Structures are given as C-alpha cells and as structure tokens.
A = this chain, B = another copy of it.
Amino acid sequence: MDTTARTTFTRKAERGSHDRHAADAILAEALVGHVGFADATGAPVVLPVAIAPDGDRVLVHGSTGARLFRTLASGVPACLTVTLLDGLVLARSAFESSMDYRSLVVLGSFTEVLGDEKLRALRVLTDHLTPGRWDALRPMTPKEVAATMVLAIPLAQCSVKARTGGTDEPAEDRTWPIWAGQLPVVVGTGTPIPEPGVAQHLPGPVAPRALGGPGAA
C-alpha cells in the first residue's frame, strides 16, 4: 500500500494506518461503501454501493443503465470509503465523547471487469454479500450478465483510520457523577421474512447471523 501525499495523515495520525491487514479486515465485514466522484458540474456526489473485497481490489456492481456506474466506468477520479461503527464512547464531557470506528479510504479510479473475469467477480460479490449462496442460486443468464456492470478499484492508494477503546479523559473529569464507558454497536440479521410459498426446509442462509459494525446506526 503506497503512502502518498493524498493519503498522509494530518491529524490524529496515531489513529491512521497503511496496514493492508486493517483494510482487509474492514472489507471482510462491510457490505456497503460510499463512492465519491464529481458530477457533470464538477461538484462532488457521494452514493452508497454494495461492495466485496477481491484480492488487491474492491468490487462494486450495478445496472449498465445506472448513471453512477457509467460515470465510474469512464475512469474518473473516485474515492471509495468503507466505515464500520464499532461503538459509542461516552465520556463525562461532550468534548471527550467519541465513537469507536474503522474507516477505509480508497483513492483511485474504477475499471470495468470484463470477459471471463466478470462471472467470477459476480460470484465473489454474491458470496460476500450472502455467503455460500452463489452455487445454490438460479444461474445468471447471459442477458443478465450483460445487463450488469462490474467495476473494480485497486487497493493501491488507501488508508485506514480507526479508534478503539474507552474514554480518554483527563483525571479531573473522572469523578463527574455520570455513567461513562463504551456502548458497543452490534449489527446482525433479524428474523428472516420468507417470500410467499417458500418452504422452510429449502437451503439458504436463513438463520440470523452477526454482521460487522455499521457505517451508521
């Protein structure tokens, strides 16, 4: 992972990292990222996208008819940011209150995944978002594959910022009479809601499962 002027930390550098393992850990948990690019007027636009890690890159996918994906496919400068909110940090003062989080910022541009790689990339995306499901799904038709755009951004220029742990308060605050500590944020799936007529014995990841921390809450 390169460290460039654009990924050099200017503040709270102790929370920053160019560690690829930290990036991979975030991507292993996250289902959604936010991609930024300039619109036709040059102004920034940020939109949510489903994501999946794929080795040294991150995959996104969507309709070939979507302006977002057509724009990204043209190779414009982009930023993909993936944030997991791990907890609320409740200090005795507003000033020292904070959040525990992990955030990955990937700078660069997207390129379209084509040819033989495309179907494999769609499998990677599907099995990241819904683990193990690809092999049991009705296979994609050539028409569906053609109507889907898959894009990848390399993890070449990226950085991770994170905060963990409890409050970091001055000693004189610690006697203030209010509860203080961490409220972990927990994300998971709730009770599955089957489509009409779906038999419960059918295979599929229907048991509630834990998910990584959210980018919001």
Q: Are A195 and B167 in contact (CB under 8 A)?
A: yes
Residues of B within 8 A of A180 (CB): 194-195, 198, 204
- A201 CB, min distance to chain B CBs, angstroms: 9
Assess whether A189 is in contact with B194, with CB atoms less than 8 Å apart.
Answer: no
Q: Do the beta carbons of A34 and B46 come within 8 Å of each other?
A: yes
Whether A34 pairs with B182 at a CB distance below 8 angstroms is: no
CB-contact partner of A192 in B34, B134, B182, under 8 A? B182
- A44 to chain B: closest residue by CB: B36
Contacting residues, chain B, for A38 (C-beta < 8 A): 38, 42, 44
| CB interface residues, A 1-60, toward B, < 8 Å | 6, 10-12, 29-39, 41-48, 50
Residue A114 is within 8 A (CB to CB) of chain B in the complex: no
Q: Beta-carbon contacts of A65-94 to B below 8 Å, as 1s and 0s?
A: 111000000000111111111011010111
A193 contact set on B, CB distance < 8 A: 166, 181-184
Can you list 26 A-B pairs with a CB-CB distance of less than 8 A?
A: A11-B65, A11-B66, A30-B217, A32-B101, A34-B34, A38-B44, A43-B77, A45-B105, A47-B103, A48-B83, A48-B101, A82-B216, A85-B214, A92-B138, A166-B193, A166-B195, A174-B195, A179-B198, A179-B204, A180-B194, A181-B193, A184-B193, A185-B190, A212-B217, A214-B214, A215-B215
Residues of chain A touching chain B, judged by Cβ–Cβ distance below 8 Å, are 6, 10-12, 29-39, 41-48, 50, 63, 65-67, 77-85, 87-88, 90, 92-95, 97, 99, 101, 103, 105, 107, 122, 126, 129-130, 133-134, 136-141, 144, 147-148, 166-167, 169, 173-174, 176-195, 197-198, 200, 202-206, 211-217
